[in-house]
């Protein structure tokens, strides 16, 4: 079995390499006696004179030599009587003739920075009890999915100068998610990384759970508890590049074992080393790492970082498609979905590469969802415009629907938008203090009304004017101010409305369920559209200017009675209560040649949602029906008589 797994690893077909490589607690029979210890296995084709050095042998390179057990470059040794948490490294002569000490690429645990050693850890035996959640889990195509993106270390901040544990974060996070209506949490990378400022995107240990927050079983407990509370957990994973620290993967055996050997591609735009995704062992290494977190930690999905740097060389479309890397992605998605049919894979992709979320068998990359970064960029740019100029950029906002149905899009307002001097979400809004809050309410309403799954970075709901800092807690004190607390209330209500109304999430990638009812009104910068599923019809209206309308006609394709179920200008959200309290009846004819319209109050920068509560019930429609019925009655009488006469004649 081991040699079959090794063959698959070398051929780039393996998703469980962690079962063979690394350091495993095992029991071996030696001279008819059972001995407990650790089996070490290392893949280093160009290494010589390999040994394991660690706490137990005083870091003496002569004590625990490793045997080369396969000509492809596999070394192994069994060391008895070891225990968890002991630190170790591999010591060997590399291809350049230099002796080096390297951390274990397959280590399950590592020392906390600035220490760099791997640590022994028994990964088996966690008492999972999330079967009920796992049995019902699916890819959420027809479900509401509102994702709360979180950086574990800065959500609540440090406790007495230390990072909170995975379990301590869960203590606070679970009730917060319950209170605010989210369905999933996405955690930023927690594979071991040395530099805090990389946020985990430049890792050194791709199987090693980040020791900042605890050990692997504490992470398992975190996921288990979230599952039992009904929340999905998505892991952010970065398979494009890795940290260049000398003790890790960089020139591991003296050659470019993991990175590109071509100097034009070795270093990424971020200064990290790029994985050579065309090498089969590298493919197996990364596919196995991602499967490891799905298998052992029960994650419900993976968000794959920087897909643009996978599909195109160095993320540059002008350099062409990186076919070796796109083959890796297809293989990854195919194998992970086969092994775990109910998990999701999500592409963070800023390119126009086609068929990202299409099935592999139809030439797609096989992802379930793709971040709509075009929507994010266009939308935030539009909301930052002076309303005077919005009419000249009217199509920037509605452009997303021109391509939306080409992929399964997810609408992100992520951590990338609130760092590096870009300003927070509220800071991106145009205008003075009051206007920024009004536009922010409008923006969040627009995000939830627009088709596509939702993602918001932690703190978006607080409307902070200070950018996120990974070394500081979120500014929770803002909730003592009514304006900020009202935004959190608005985000909660949008989540609840989104989950409750099926027209907002069922078959949302089917164009039959979306219709613009006002799309060309650039002079007033007002937009409106309908979404429906089954018997449920919803109408969404957005005013993008400070103009207030006491009486405004909005077109609709439905006749009947509409009830307002959300208005961003209500006082509970920090607005001025310019909402529609009474139900709105439809009347014939409407703007932009729609068959019907309703007349509403439309607040300055207001956003409102209407539900078709009763069809065919407007006064004028009823009057027309009564008149039509009166005119048709004589004809019906004559028809009945004629029918009776004909029937009598036939009976004779």
Q: What's the CA angle centered on 375, arms 370 and 381, to 5 degrees?
A: 145
Q: How far apart are CA 447 and CA 464, in angstroms?
A: 18
Tell me the angle at which helices 280-297 and 216-228 cross, rounded to the nearest 10 degrees: 60
Catalytic residue among 253, 305, 378, 407: 305
Pairing verdict, β 232-237 and 301-304: parallel
Contact in structure between 73 and 47 (CB atoms under 8 Å): yes
Q: How far apart are CA 323 and CA 320, in angstroms?
A: 9
Residue 206's φ and ψ, nearest 5 degrees, are -90, -5
Give Cα separations from 39 to 175, 236, 377 (angstroms): 42, 30, 50
Q: Is 237 helix (H, G, I), strand (E, B) or coil?
A: strand
Beta-carbon-side half-sphere exposure of residue 618 (alpha carbons within 13 Å): 19
Q: How far apart are CA 196 and CA 200, in angstroms?
A: 7
Q: What's the CA angle centered on 502, arms 496 and 503, to 5 degrees?
A: 110
DSSP string, 537-596: EEEEEEE-SS--EEEEEEEES--EEEEEEEETTSGGGTS------S-EE-EEEEGGGEEE
**E-state strands within 440-488:** 453-457
Catalytic residue among 168, 210, 300, 348: 348
Beta bridge pairs of residue 556? 596
Beta bridge pairs of residue 192? 205
Which two structure tokens, joined as six digits, stand for 194? Answer: 């040395």
How many secondary structure helices (H) and strands (E) does the chain include? Answer: 14, 30
305 among known catalytic residues: yes
Residue 2's φ and ψ, nearest 5 degrees, are -60, -40
Residue 608's φ and ψ, nearest 5 degrees, are -140, 145
Q: How far apart are CA 498 and CA 505, in angstroms?
A: 7
Q: Is 125 helix (H, G, I), strand (E, B) or coil?
A: coil
Q: How far apart are CA 71 and CA 94, in angstroms?
A: 16
In our burial notation (b when 16+ CB lie closer than 10 A, e otherwise), range 555-579 reads bbebbbbbebebbbbbeebbbeebb
Place of tokens 């009564």: 626
Contact in structure between 235 and 293 (CB atoms under 8 Å): yes
**E-state strands within 307-437:** 344-347, 369-371, 409-413
196 among known catalytic residues: no
Residues labelled catalytic: 305, 348
């Amino acid at each position: 079995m081991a040699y079959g797994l090794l063959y698959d690893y070398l051929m780039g077909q393996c998703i469980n390499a962690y079962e063979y490589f690394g350091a495993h607690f095992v029991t071996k029979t030696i001279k008819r006696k059972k001995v407990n210890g650790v089996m070490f296995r290392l893949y280093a084709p160009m290494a010589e004179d390999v040994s394991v050095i660690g706490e137990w042998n005083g870091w003496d390179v002569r004590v625990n030599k490793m045997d080369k057990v396969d000509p492809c470059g596999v070394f192994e040794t069994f060391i008895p009587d070891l225990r968890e948490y002991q630190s170790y490294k591999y010591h060997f002569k590399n291809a350049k003739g230099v002796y080096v000490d390297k951390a274990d690429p397959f280590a399950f645990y590592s020392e906390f920075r600035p220490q760099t050693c791997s640590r022994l850890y028994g990964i088996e035996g966690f008492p999972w009890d999330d079967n009920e959640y796992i049995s019902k889990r699916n890819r959420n195509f027809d479900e509401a999915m509102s994702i709360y993106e979180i950086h574990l270390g800065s959500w609540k901040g440090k406790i007495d100068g230390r990072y909170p544990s995975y379990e301590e974060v869960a203590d606070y996070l679970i009730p917060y998610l319950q209170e605010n209506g989210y369905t999933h949490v996405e955690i930023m990378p927690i594979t071991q990384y040395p530099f805090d400022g990389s946020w985990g995107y430049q890792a050194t240990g791709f199987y090693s759970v980040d020791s900042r927050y605890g050990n692997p079983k504490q992470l398992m407990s975190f996921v288990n508890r979230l599952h039992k509370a009904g929340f999905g957990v998505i892991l952010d994973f970065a398979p494009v590049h890795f940290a260049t620290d000398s003790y890790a993967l960089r020139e591991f055996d003296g050659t470019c074992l993991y990175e590109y050997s071509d100097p034009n591609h070795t270093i990424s735009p971020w200064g990290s080393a790029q994985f050579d995704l065309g090498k089969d062992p590298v493919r197996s290494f990364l596919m196995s790492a991602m499967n490891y977190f799905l298998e052992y930690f029960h994650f419900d999905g993976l968000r794959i970082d920087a897909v643009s740097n996978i599909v195109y060389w160095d993320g540059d479309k002008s350099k062409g498609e990186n076919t070796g890397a796109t083959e890796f992605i297809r293989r990854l998605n195919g194998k992970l979905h086969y092994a775990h049919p109910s998990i999701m894979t999500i592409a963070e992709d800023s390119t126009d590469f086609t068929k990202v979320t299409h099935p592999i068998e139809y030439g797609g990359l096989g992802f379930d969802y793709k971040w709509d970064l075009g929507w994010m960029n266009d939308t935030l740019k539009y909301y930052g415009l002076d309303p005077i100029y919005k009419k000249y950029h009217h199509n920037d906002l509605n452009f997303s629907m021109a391509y939306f149905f080409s992929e399964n899009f997810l609408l992100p307002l992520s951590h990338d938008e609130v760092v590096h001097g870009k300003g927070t979400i509220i800071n991106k809004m145009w205008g003075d203090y009051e206007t920024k809050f009004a536009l922010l309410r409008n923006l969040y309403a627009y995000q939830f009304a627009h088709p596509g799954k939702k993602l918001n970075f932690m703190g978006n709901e607080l409307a902070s004017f200070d950018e996120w800092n990974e070394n500081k807690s979120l500014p929770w004190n803002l909730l003592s101010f009514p304006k900020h607390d009202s935004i959190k209330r608005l985000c909660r209500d949008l989540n609840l409305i989104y989950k409750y109304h099926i027209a907002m999430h069922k078959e949302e990638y089917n164009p039959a369920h979306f219709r613009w009812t006002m799309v060309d009104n650039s002079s007033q910068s007002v937009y409106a559209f309908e979404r429906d599923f089954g018997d449920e019809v919803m109408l969404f209206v957005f005013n993008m200017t400070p103009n207030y309308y006491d009486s405004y006609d909005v077109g609709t394709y439905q006749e009947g009675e509409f009830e307002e179920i959300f208005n961003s200008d209500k006082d509970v959200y920090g607005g001025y209560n310019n909402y529609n309290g009474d139900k709105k009846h439809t009347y014939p004819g409407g703007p932009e040649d729609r068959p019907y319209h309703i007349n509403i109050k439309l607040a300055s920068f207001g956003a409102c949602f209407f539900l078709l509560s009763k069809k065919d019930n407007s006064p004028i429609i009823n009057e027309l029906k009564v008149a039509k019925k009166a005119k048709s009655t004589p004809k019906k009488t004559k028809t009945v008589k004629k029918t009776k006469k004909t029937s009598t004649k036939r009976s004779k």
